[in-house]
Amino acid sequence: MSYLNEWFELRPATIMDADQILRIYESEEFDGNISVIYTRRPNPYLSFQKEGEQVFLLLLCDHRADLICGVGSCVIRKAYIRGEVKATGYLNGLKLLPQYRKKVPYIAEAYHYMYEQTKDLVDCYYTTILTENIPAQRLLEKKRKNMPAYNFKSIYNVYCLASGNHTLQKNYSLECGNTESLEVFYKKNAVKWSLFPADFTMSAFPRDSIYTLRDKSGNIQAACVLWNQLAHKQYIVSNYKGIYKFLKWFPLKWFGYPNLPKIGQIANYASYHMLCVKNDNIDLAQYFIKKIAEKEKDYDFLMIGLFENHYLVKCLQKIKHIKYQSKFYEVNWDNAPIELEIENLYLDVGLL
């Protein structure tokens, strides 16, 4: 732990802090035409443990009020970078209770403490900031003493797709389950993508969530996991603005778009995870994505995250969707940056 002064302290979180951490998460709202509360019910401490090999969860405590007023995290995962397995650290920015925002002058100290705790474990740090969050971008993009450099790399798009829409059958079979040939497929086709997850064993996922598309000879042409994280991570719509204020009343699925969740309701969603297509075949990718969406009709919508220059963007532009965007940054302290190559970035939305 680190005492900043007689009142404030930085320390690692424990499971006993879960209720206060959840309060901080649910006090923050992602504003925009669709305002969303991003939360981790019922226990945010355990929620984070599901998303990395190691997780460092940092708390800012106000001893005057006997209150946890801020939380930040670094989720450490093994991923491919330029064909090699590296330890990556996803920085989930410092979140504060509303009454402490713009009033706590310890951002640099929190970042330094986080770095000191993780620097021997991480080869490359990165983060994302919603494009609507201009104050955070201004704060972190500006070069400041004792703060890491936030190097903007690319726009990251998240596409929300309707489920249950019918797709014409082609000469491929959609199958569920894990096989040795699936691991071989990933090792051959996925390692070129920087930040692609390095664990191809699929042991953490239910059998019926692991999808492959196979040709007549049984050879895998595409693969992914449809990741349901609702048990530990949720999105709750708090408000609609602009055109969405009117569209929320329409059955958008009739027109190929996902229906908008009711205000205050937890969105019933899943995300495409570890999506990989042989030879980067756009037509095959589009068919694969649509066939999974057709089968998984019980979800309100399905999510895919892609960098703006990823080849699959052309595929998603052909599928009706609702989209939001973030800015992706490589984050560097004094250590030499890895310099992620923009052309070969892949990052799953379920890992953000």
Domain edge (last residue) among 114, 133, 156: 156
Domain-embedded: residue 234:
yes
Q: Are residues 126 and 233 in the same domain?
A: no
Banded model confidence at residue 105, pLDDT cuts 50, 70, 90: confident
Cβ neighbors of 203 (< 8 A, separation 6 or more) are none
How many Å apart are CA 114 and CA 10, to the nearest integer? 10
Give pLDDT tens digits for 156-211: 999 999 998 888 888 999 999 988 899 999 999 999 999 999 999 888 899 999 99
Cα–Cα nearest to 36, from 133, 107, 102, 104: 133
The model's pTM is 0.91
What average pLDDT does the segment 226-242 reach?
91
| Average pLDDT for the chain | 90
Domain-embedded: residue 316:
yes
Cα–Cα nearest to 283, from 183, 184, 167: 167
Number of domains in the chain: 2
Instruction: Give the percent of the chain with pLDDT over 90.
Output: 61
Q: Are residues 231 and 93 in the same domain?
A: no
Q: What is the CATH number of the domain that holds 314?
A: 3.40.630.30
The residue range of the domain holding 133 is 2-156
Cα–Cα nearest to 306, from 293, 319, 294, 296: 319
Domain-embedded: residue 209:
yes
Domain-embedded: residue 49:
yes
Structure-block tokens of residue 308: 């703006």
Q: Are residues 186 and 295 in the same domain?
A: yes
Amino acid 4: pLDDT: 58
Give pLDDT tens digits for 270-292: 999 999 999 999 999 999 999 99
Q: What is the dihedral of CA 112, 156, 195, 39, to 10 degrees?
A: 60
Domain-embedded: residue 85:
yes
Q: Are residues 119 and 69 in the same domain?
A: yes
